Amino acid sequence: MVRCLFPLMSTIERRKHVRSDCALRVEVRFSGQSEALEATVADICLGGCYISTISPPPAGTTVVLCFTGSGDGATIAGRTVTCMPGSGMGVEFTSSMDAESADRLKSLIERLDSARAQSARVAI
C-alpha cells in the first residue's frame, strides 16, 4: 500500500471568501515594469482572483490590477501567490485597498453573483 505523506493541494481549501466565476478583462502592472499586460480574470472574490495568462510572474510579485472594463474602474493592489506557467496566476489582494476600491470590488462581485443567479433561473 502506498500512502501520500502530503495532501493534494486541490483538496485543501484556504480561501476565506467564495469565488465568483467570470471572464473580466483586467490590466495588470507588475512591480518594476512600466508596461501593462491585458489579461482575463477567471474568478474573483473579496480576497483575490485568478488571472489567466501564459507567462505569469513568480509568486510573491507585487501587482496592480485595473478593472476599467467592468464599469467600476477599480484599481486594486495585490501580490501573486501562485504561478502556473501556461495557465495563470493566483493574486491575493493586499490590505492596503482604499475604501472606494473595496466598495467597487464588492459591487462588481455582487453583479457577477446576481447575473449568475439570473442565468441559472433562465436555464431551468
pLDDT tens, residue by residue, 19-55: 788 888 999 999 888 889 899 999 999 899 999 999 8
pLDDT tens for 55-103 read 899 999 999 999 876 566 788 999 999 999 999 999 999 877 788 888 8
**Prediction pTM value:** 0.78
Burial (CB count <10 Å: 0-12, 13-18, 19+), residue 8: exposed
Dihedral over alpha carbons 42, 28, 64, 17 (to 10 degrees): 0
* SS3 state of residue 66: strand
List, in order of start, the domains of the chain with CATH numbers: 16-123 (2.40.10.220)
